[in-house]
Every structure is written in structure tokens, then in C-alpha cells.
Amino acid sequence: MDYGEQFVLTLFTNDPVVASRADRAGVNRIGVDLESIGKQDRQDPRKAWLSNHRADQLPGVRESLQDALLFARTNPFGLHTRGEVESLLDLGVRVLMLPYFSRPAELEAFVDLVAGRALVSALVETRSAAERIEQLVRIPGVDEIHVGLNDLHLQLGLSNHFHVLALPLFERVARSVREAGIPFGFGGVARVSDALLPVPSTMVLAQFPYFGADRALVSRAFLGAAPDEIDFEREIRRVRRTLSDWAGRSADELQVQHQAFLDRVKEVRLSEISSE
């Protein structure tokens, strides 16, 4: 199986119809984004998406899936986490993502609460977590590490989330995760056919093999304003095919494309780039 076919895609949705279509199209994980605690205070609601998903919507999503794993992003770690984890596991969630943690101890405690009953996805999106990546990769029970570009760019004071990919810190995170043998992902993917994106999807897709990543979110831009009109299966096939094409290029070609991507990001305004 080639790179694009093995690439793990995760979609946030509370809509069973959308979930069913995504499942048939080959999206690997599908479920809800429950993160709400503190998010409105740190993100501009005019530019960032604040989820209205609820845990009680998971059964409807679960019943619509044939192959995809049921997924949920929890709230940041706190006194509520034990109850939240138990409730989500009772609802059949197979992959749990912990967002916005700062200390390795928080991730360790989350792993202990999950206790091997679901896959643990660590969402690195704070400066503190990124700078402690060498500690994070040594925590037993972490099944994957995903870098959240939106919150991380805000913490680092960057003009847009794609600028994170130009940082030595991001390269250090990617290298540390790869060397630890832990699956690595970042950001999200949009439709290859979407000509309205300020940064072409093909440019973004080239960054995944460049950094050695093998997973990403399906971005909100993928569904767009009229999700019912999108041929989900065709568009997912095109994403996977494009990923495979870039993975087959030489290191020199990927380096050229990486620089072209960074040059393009510098040209666009923050307001033109949607968050992941």
C-alpha cells in the first residue's frame, strides 16, 4: 500500500449523514470535537471555529460508521477529565485526542486514565508542549502526536498558522517524533480541486511527506459552504493520490516545493487563510 493510501485522515462532524459519506469515502477516524473550555478566551471567534458538538451526538455518528474509528477531541486536562474519558469510552470512542496541554505530566495522567482502552492522540499546540517534545515522545501509551497549527501560531505570535512550518521548533518536533517511531501529523487537508484557497491544496499536501507526517485532519475548508454538493469519495481519492505523488518525488523536489509553499504563505493575508 502506498503513502497516500496509508495516510490517516480524521474528520470532525456531529452529522451522521456527513459521517456516513466520509466513512464510505475512506476517512479513517470520524467523530466530535468537544473542546470548549478556554478556547473562546484564546482564539478570535471571527477567525477560528468554536465547536458546538456534544457527546450525546456520538451514538448517531457511531451508528453511521462501517469502517472508520469513532473519534473525539476532549477538553484540556483538568478535574473533569476522568469523567469525560469514562463517558466517551462508554459511548464507544476508539480514539481520544487531548488538546492544549502544557506539561508532560498532563499527558501522562491522560494516558493513565485511558488505560489502553482507546488510542491516545496527543495534540501539541502550546509552546511549552512543543519545547518539551523529547519528554513527550518517551511517555508510554502515546499512540500518535499531532501538531495543532492554529493555537501554536497564536502562542508564538505568528501572523498565520502556516508560518509554524517554517520554524526550527517545528522541524525539531517532527524529527523527534519520527525518531521515536511515533506516528506524526499536523494541520489539515483541503480538496485538491478547490481553486479558491489562498494557498493551493497541492502545496500544502507536499508538506506532509517533506516532514515525514502520515496523518492530518480533514479541514473545515474541505466541506466548504455546500458539503452536500461535494463528491466526497472522488475528493478523498484525489487527496490520497496527490499525497502519493509528492511522496514519490526526490528530496530536492520536496525542498523546492517547501520553499515555494513558504513564499506563497508570506504573500497572503491572515484573513484569507482559514484555520484547521
- State the average pLDDT for the chain: 93
Q: Are the C-beta atoms of residues 276 and 219 closer than 8 Å to each other?
A: yes
Q: Is the dihedral of CA 13, 14, 18, 22 positive or negative?
A: positive
Residue 161 three-state SS: helix
**Measured between alpha carbons, how far is 11 from 57 in angstroms, rounded to an integer?**
15
Return contacts of 21-24, CB within 8 angstroms, 24+ apart: 21/232, 22/68, 22/218, 22/232, 22/236, 23/64, 23/65, 23/66, 23/67, 23/68, 24/66, 24/232, 24/233
More confident residue, 7 or 41: 7
Q: 227 pLDDT band (50/70/90 cuts)?
A: confident
Residue 118: CB atoms within 10 Å: 20
Q: What is the C-alpha separation between 68 and 47, in angstroms, rounded?
A: 29
Q: Is the pLDDT of residue 253 over 90?
A: yes
Number of domains in the chain: 1
Domain around 265: 3-272
Residue of 148, 164, 135, 261 lying closest to 215 (CA atoms): 148
For 185, half-sphere exposure in the C-beta direction (CA atoms, 13 angstrom radius) is: 22
Cell of 259: 520553499
Model pTM score = 0.93
Does residue 3 contact residue 42 with C-beta atoms inside 8 Å? no
Q: Which helix (H) or strand (E) holds 119?
A: strand 119-124
User: Hey, is 10 helix, strand or coil?
Assistant: strand
Give the length of the chain.
276
Phi and psi based region of residue 146 (left: phi greater than 0; alpha: psi -120 to 50; beta: remaining): beta
CATH number for position 133: 3.20.20.60
8 Å CB contact between 74 and 101: no
Q: Is 12 helix (H, G, I), strand (E, B) or coil?
A: strand
Model pLDDT for residues 30-46, shown as the tens digit of each residue? 999 999 887 655 555 44
Predicted confidence (pLDDT) per residue in 58-75, tens digit: 999 999 999 999 999 999
Percent of the chain with pLDDT over 90: 83
Q: What is the largest CA-CA distance in the chain?
A: 49
